[in-house]
Structure 1
Amino acid sequence: MNINKGKEWWMGASHFQMELANIAKCLLLGVVILWIQIHGNKGCFEEERLALLDFKAFVGSNGFDADYILPSWIDDPTSNCCQWERVMCNSTTGHVIELSLNNTQQYDMESFRESYSFYHDENIWYVNLSMFQQLKELKTLNLSYNHFYCSIDDQGCERLSKLKKLEVLDLTSNRFNNIILSSLGALISLKTLILSDNRMEGSFPIQGFERLEKLDISWNRFNKSILSSLGALTSLNTLILNHMYDTMNGSFPIQELKNLKNLTLLDISGNSFNGTLSFKEFSTFKRLETLNLEGNAFTGSIPEGLCGLNDLQHLDLSYNEFGGTLPQCLGNLTSLTFLDLSENHLTGRLPSFWPPNLQYVDLSHNHLEDVFSFNYSSLEVIGLSGNKITFENGWIPSFQLRALIMQDCGLGRRFPYWLLQNNGGLEILNLMNNSFTGQLEIGAKMLPNTTYLNLARNHFEGDLLFSAGDDCKLIALDLSHNNFSGEVPERLLSNCISLGYLRLSHNNFHGQIALFNLTRIDDLDLNDNQFQGILSSLFTNFSHQSYGPKVLHLSNNRLHGEIPHWIGNFTGLGYLNLRDNLFQGQIPCQLLSTRIEYLDLSYNSFSGLLPSCFNGSSLQQINLQGNRFSGSIPEALLNISTLNLLDLSDNELSGTILNKSDENLSGLLVLLLRGNHFNGFIPNWLCHLNDVNLLDLSRNSFSGSIPHCLYNLSFAREGEGNLYNLTFSDTVFKWEIEYGGRSETYFDNRVYFDAEVDEESEFVTKYRAHTYKNKALNLMSGLDLSDNNLTGEIPDEFGVLFQIHALNLSHNQLTGSIPRSFSNLSQIESLDLSYNILSGQIPVELIDLNFLEVFSVAHNNLSGRIPDMKEQFSTFESKSYEGNPFLCGTQVRRKCHDDNDEPSPSQMESPKSPQEAHGNWYKIDREIFLASFSVTFIIFFLSVITILYVNSYWQERLIYRTRQYLFSYYYFLYDNLVK
């Protein structure tokens, strides 16, 4: 008994000693931790500091200023890397745990996506990821937006697998391919993996990724079969599969993801899924908070089963083909704050009951019809554009909106002033293209916080009564396409100092306008009004500043004077349109030293020589039509490699066109030189304009033969070319909305203010001068060499211009026959060969030109039978053939000779070919013909001699023309015999 008690005492004492030792250890550890927290770590670890410096050296080796990008990363042992930018360390251990090395090439992030292409190889950085292997405690690594690429050959990718504690990896917008996936699968602690915008395709291996909670593989080319693999990653709560470059198509196999019961966010937007959706499968996702199906082609109605997702906060079904009525049960989604059903085919009325916590609702561009009666205090954004919505009489809203977008709704004639009075927090108001009439009167207190106001395309009239307060916050104002008159209110131009976009175009405003304090203006559009004055008065406070608008559109007004030299101070100016005003003088070189891309000075009174100071760095389109420029085309103008449109038509330019390099204007799409005094031969370098759509050299004095090499011109294969891609003019505004404890920024094309950049050119086809604008310029193609002194035959090679729509060779001195190869011009709509000296027959094969609308061979020496009145030839009138006395057929009411001959038996047995049948249709007595011809010639000759004797003017014209023909004949002999 005593022995047992002794054993128990001894065991208890031993246990007490062990507990006491553990307590002592804990106290000691606590003291150490407390000491570290008080004194802190004195610096990062040397091996980690050197690893970071290796990355800085890598940035510098690729031609970038590493000291500018990473200024605090100093190669100094005393420098604590935990205090460097883009680096975060554990405050206790001093190890690097987070690296934010995104966008080390310093891209403009808003344009980054536009420059990205799945197959684009520019600016790729080969990166050896082994430089990060020393950061063993790293938990977060952000390498997004860098164009990085790595290879498995030198273990550059494989070494990334050494980061065993890495939890978050962001490789967005790089050039990694599937090679890196095997290394990523070895990251045993990885929970968040973002691979958006890379070059991955095919399948996705799930081995090693079982612990993933968030996976973003959007903007790659993975195929639909990966869904069955992803369904095995049961820890996922976020899955983003949007924009897979059309590799995700057909029906959406939602059943493949049924095991992802923890999913809170599913995004498959921007794909090509179609068919109907059975939302019974969605019942698996009880925790789903965000569902984004935007930009697919789903059809059918929105099933009520969707209403069972009680935790749903964000639902986006926009840009699909859903139809039917809106489910009334949407009101049961009490957690829903964001609802976007825009751009579908929904019909019927609006639900009578909405989710009580809804902050954002967009039903734009459906077929809904109802009375506007939303009345929820939480609503901040409402979009109902493109529906038939009216306002309820006497309705008083209880909400405080931040954005109301209701364009194209037919809201009635009365403007809803009550909406402005009860919504002082309104930031965005877009009521464009409704039917409002009368005078618009906006007081200073109606829009205290409004930044974007669009009331364009209504029927407002009279003076604009706009009283902007002293604290006006407007950034964008569009009142275009109304009937406003009078002068622009001075307070609008003096108080709204933040105004960056102002469009007052297509009204009847008049008088002088001065921008006063609007020194932040980016886009100014005043075209199609009756404004007067000079540019210096318009930009009162701009003349000595190195800024100014990016877009300046002042066409169709009554502005006059010269372009001031100080406009060269507008360093951001990209678009200048002064078309159809009263400007005069010359083009200042200071203007051409800016970054201007689009220059339209057409239909003014500019004169003198064209400037020789075109720098050619950025100009894409130049339109100087309808002025009085003289002299020759300067060489500098023909050396602008970025140019795609050049219109110098209807001026007084002269001389020969300079022979130049074939490469400088290789991207030119439109070249219009008609209506000048150019002479000499058509230069051969025009044959190298491989992308040209329109080439017009008409109404000049070009001589010699038509260059055979012009068949090399493509003449606008439809859809190619980039005439209207002037991206600098796009102004898309954004706003931020907070809901559900998070903040999101929305870019919305319903709050879109473009600068109405019109690229237009005039081209004569089908006997009329047509003005082609914007996309129509890419679709139209034509060659016009009419009204010159061209000789020789029409090149047979022109038959390969398969895409050309209009060909005009009229009013020249062309000889020979009409090429039979013209039957290959399958897209031709207008073919004019009139007023030449063409002979032979009209090829019967031209009947196959199914799109031919205008055809003329009038006033030539053609003979034979006109092709039968079939297909398009049945629509051409007799004037298409007049002036050809030897043509016959019903079109000219002249019987062909073989129509009256009775066929002999031999002829019936062996019918003649069309050529034989037409070849001897006329039989004229030789003696009678010679006698009549001689008498006619003598009378004509004596008449001409008499006129020349009594009229000195015609004597001079005859001598001038004779000299021209002699020179032409001399150069013809020189080119073809001497050379």
Structure 2
Amino acid sequence: MMLTNNMVKWVIWACLLCSLPCSEPLTQNSDLNDSLALKQFLGNLTNAQIMTTWADTKNCCNWEGVSCRTTANTSRVIKLVLRSKGLQGVLSRSLTQLDRLEVLDLNNNSFSGPINLDFTGLPNLYLLNLASNHFSGDIPSSISTCKKLVTLSIGRNDLTGEIPMSFGNLTSLSFFSSSNNSLVNLSVAFTTFQGCRNLSALILTTNFRGEELPRNLSGFGNLKILALGKSDLHGEIPDWLLKCRMLEVLDLSWNHLTGNLPLWIEQLEYLFYLDLSDNLLSGQIPESLTHLKSLMFTHSASKNSSVDGIPLYVKRNQSDYGLLQYNRLSNFPPSIYLSKNLLSGTIPSDIGRLNQLHVLDLSMNYLTGTIPDSMSEMLNLEVLDLSLNNLHGSIPPSLNKLTFLSMFSVAYNQLQGPIPDGPQFQSFPNSSFEGSPGLCGGVQGIACSLTRNSSLGPSIVSDSRNNFGRISILGLTVSVGISIISTLG
């Protein structure tokens, strides 16, 4: 039989394919030691939702939350991701036998006891997330041997003691959070992290209670997020923050900081989220605050912000931060919170320059003067709270231009005259205007021709100050997907 040209080509291709060695066997066996280590880890747990799935097969690479990488004829465990699985019990030391492990994420479970792992056995670890559990005791200093560590989150536990000084050797560390623990010695913590030259996010909220905010520091040139809220810290806003030229998010709220707002604030050209609320700051709001470039149209920073792929924190209420999933980018609203301080004087007339601002909260201070008409230029404003001050005059009718405004309050001031009649203002409740009987129209339903030019006395404002809560910003959503560890659930 004569072979056609096409038939000859197919024979040649078949011979070539048969002669090629198989690059991988059809099935890969997981490393026996890895499987035994995970079985021991499972044996220390109770009420684990993963028990059934881990019993279905002998190949641990098929188990829920386990990811492997294949080399030769063996698959080694590189990721253990068991977020929010209802796991209870203590950590098994066997996890340190997973010497190829790169990601250990046990966030939001009910682990208890100390973090009793010898991290010298995990040299490849670059993400460690043990947040939102019940771990107690000291932070293991052996974590500092994980030279590749980029993300370290141990917040919302019951940890005590100091941050190990050896953490200064974590030169790859970009994101660190130990919020909501009972750590001490803030000065040692800052001195330690000066050695972490790649540090971009430092979240120390709700620790170091009653300590002094360090006054003289250097370093932190790459820091983009600094959160030290709800720690009852004392002192003034330190000048060394001026050296953090990359700073985008600064939260010093719920402390006992005194002094004035710094004039150098305008030099932080990337700053777009500032929370200094619930302190004892005094003096006037400086004009320099209206020069923040990231909050102005021509120099607006991206509202979708991250730190080298590490997600930002999103503020869920006045004092708490919830860490978002690692493969997502948080949508942070450009905000200024100065509420519950001792600020006086007038609102800067050029406040409208901050036309990229979404949230402005100046409530519960001693501000005087009128509401600047330039606020009508802040077209992206969604929240405006001027309540519990000593403002007088009228509400500028031009504020009708703020079509995105969804939360508004001028309650308990000395304002008079008609409430703007735009659709936004018709939707605000009476509580937005209460305590200012000189106001009329709007949802008040009071005919302006029948009102008197009355005003509130200072004693009424003062008596009401402690009964009016700060507006809470809830439900900030996540939008853009960015993965820093390939596939995290």
The two structures have a TM-score, normalised by structure 1, of 0.39
State whether residues 110 and 133 of structure 2, in contact with CA within 8 Å, keep that contact through their aligned partners in structure 1. yes
2:167 to 588, 591, 612: 591
State whether residues 763 and 771 of structure 1, in contact with CA within 8 Å, keep that contact through their aligned partners in structure 2. yes
Deviation string for 1:764-807 (max 9, x for gaps)?
Answer: 59xx9885857664541100000000000000111111111000
Q: In the TM superposition, what is the alpha-carbon distance from 1:577 to its structure 2 partner?
A: 0.4
Query: After superposition, where does 1:121-136 map in structure 2 within 5 Å?
Result: none
1:643 to 223, 226, 234: 223
State whether residues 304 and 332 of structure 2, in contact with CA within 8 Å, keep that contact through their aligned partners in structure 1. no
Write the distance in 2 (CA, Å) between the matches of 1:923 and 1:872. 25
Q: In the TM superposition, what is the alpha-carbon distance from 1:504 to its structure 2 partner?
A: 1.9
Q: In the TM superposition, what is the alpha-carbon distance from 1:639 to its structure 2 partner?
A: 3.7
Q: In the TM superposition, what is the alpha-carbon distance from 1:575 to its structure 2 partner?
A: 1.0
Deviation string for 1:102-142 (max 9, x for gaps)?
Answer: xxxxxxxxxxxxxxxxxxxxxxxxxxxxxxxxxxxxxxxxx
Write the distance in 1 (CA, Å) between the matches of 2:290 and 2:323. 24
In structure 2, do the counterparts of structure 1 residues 779 and 760 end up closer, same or farther at CA, with 3 Å as the change threshold?
closer
In structure 2, do the counterparts of structure 1 residues 876 and 565 end up closer, same or farther at CA, with 3 Å as the change threshold?
same
State whether residues 99 and 122 of structure 2, in contact with CA within 8 Å, keep that contact through their aligned partners in structure 1. no
Q: Which residue of 2 aligns with 1:92?
A: none
Q: Which residue of 1 aligns with 2:78?
A: 500
Q: In the TM superposition, what is the alpha-carbon distance from 1:839 to its structure 2 partner?
A: 0.3
Q: In the TM superposition, what is the alpha-carbon distance from 1:632 to its structure 2 partner?
A: 2.8
2:27 to 426, 451, 460: 426
Deviation string for 1:825-877 (max 9, x for gaps)?
Answer: 01000000000000000000000111000110000000111111x23112111
In structure 2, do the counterparts of structure 1 residues 443 and 692 end up closer, same or farther at CA, with 3 Å as the change threshold?
closer
Q: Structure 1 residue 606 and structure 2 residue 183: aligned?
A: yes
Deviation string for 1:861-910 (max 9, x for gaps)?
Answer: 00111111x2311211111000002111142232212xx6xxxxxxxxxx
Write the distance in 1 (CA, Å) between the matches of 2:453 and 2:177. 60
Q: Structure 1 residue 465 and structure 2 residue 31: aligned?
A: no
State whether residues 420 and 442 of structure 2, in contact with CA within 8 Å, keep that contact through their aligned partners in structure 1. no
Deviation string for 1:167-194 (max 9, x for gaps)?
Answer: xxxxxxxxxxxxxxxxxxxxxxxxxxxx
Corresponding residue SS for 1:891:
helix
Identity of aligned residues (%): 30
Q: Which residue of 2 aligns with 1:580?
A: 156
Write the distance in 2 (CA, Å) between the matches of 1:923 and 1:579. 53
State whether residues 295 and 301 of structure 2, in contact with CA within 8 Å, keep that contact through their aligned partners in structure 1. no
Give the count of matched residue pairs: 419
Q: In the TM superposition, what is the alpha-carbon distance from 1:624 to its structure 2 partner?
A: 1.0
Q: Structure 1 residue 876 and structure 2 residue 435: aligned?
A: no
Query: After superposition, where does 1:615-694 map in structure 2 within 5 Å?
Result: 615=194, 616-635=196-215, 639-660=219-240, 662=242, 664-694=243-273
Deviation string for 1:719-751 (max 9, x for gaps)?
Answer: 737843535xxxxxxxxxxxxxxxxxxxxxxxx
Write the distance in 2 (CA, Å) between the matches of 1:670 and 1:427. 47
In structure 2, do the counterparts of structure 1 residues 822 and 770 end up closer, same or farther at CA, with 3 Å as the change threshold?
farther
Q: In the TM superposition, what is the alpha-carbon distance from 1:759 to its structure 2 partner?
A: 3.1
- Structure 1 gap segments, 5+ residues each: 1-309, 314-333, 338-355, 360-376, 378-399, 403-423, 429-441, 448-458, 481-495, 728-756, 901-920, 945-979
1:571 to 118, 123, 147: 147
Write the distance in 1 (CA, Å) between the matches of 2:124 and 2:55. 25
Q: 1:600 is matched by which residue type in structure 2?
A: S
Write the distance in 2 (CA, Å) between the matches of 1:666 and 1:841. 39
Corresponding residue SS for 1:532:
strand
Q: In the TM superposition, what is the alpha-carbon distance from 1:622 to its structure 2 partner?
A: 0.7
Write the distance in 1 (CA, Å) between the matches of 2:446 and 2:314. 42
State whether residues 86 and 109 of structure 2, in contact with CA within 8 Å, keep that contact through their aligned partners in structure 1. yes
State whether residues 695 and 784 of structure 1, in contact with CA within 8 Å, keep that contact through their aligned partners in structure 2. yes
Write the distance in 2 (CA, Å) between the matches of 1:628 and 1:557. 20
Write the distance in 1 (CA, Å) between the matches of 2:241 and 2:31. 61
Q: In the TM superposition, what is the alpha-carbon distance from 1:532 to its structure 2 partner?
A: 2.2
Q: Which residue of 1 aligns with 2:65?
A: 479
Corresponding residue SS for 1:699:
coil
Corresponding residue SS for 1:500:
strand
Deviation string for 1:644-701 (max 9, x for gaps)?
Answer: 0111111121111222474x21211110111111111111222212111210000000
State whether residues 716 and 779 of structure 1, in contact with CA within 8 Å, keep that contact through their aligned partners in structure 2. no
Larger Rg belongs to: 1
Q: Structure 1 residue 797 and structure 2 residue 350: aligned?
A: yes
State whether residues 144 and 169 of structure 2, in contact with CA within 8 Å, keep that contact through their aligned partners in structure 1. yes
In structure 2, do the counterparts of structure 1 residues 712 and 552 end up closer, same or farther at CA, with 3 Å as the change threshold?
same
Q: Which residue of 2 aligns with 1:720?
A: 302
In structure 2, do the counterparts of structure 1 residues 837 and 895 end up closer, same or farther at CA, with 3 Å as the change threshold?
same
Q: In the TM superposition, what is the alpha-carbon distance from 1:923 to its structure 2 partner?
A: 6.7
Corresponding residue SS for 2:351:
helix
Write the distance in 1 (CA, Å) between the matches of 2:218 and 2:264. 11
Q: 1:622 is matched by which residue type in structure 2?
A: L
Deviation string for 1:600-650 (max 9, x for gaps)?
Answer: 101112233342333251110011112244323325666411000111111
1:839 to 389, 392, 404: 392
Write the distance in 2 (CA, Å) between the matches of 1:817 and 1:443. 72
2:448 to 886, 896, 902: 896
Write the distance in 1 (CA, Å) between the matches of 2:384 and 2:348. 15
Query: After superposition, where does 1:693-842 map in structure 2 within 5 Å?
Result: 693-713=272-292, 714-715=294-295, 720=302, 723-727=305-309, 758-762=311-315, 773=324, 777-842=330-395
Q: In the TM superposition, what is the alpha-carbon distance from 1:465 to its structure 2 partner?
A: 3.3
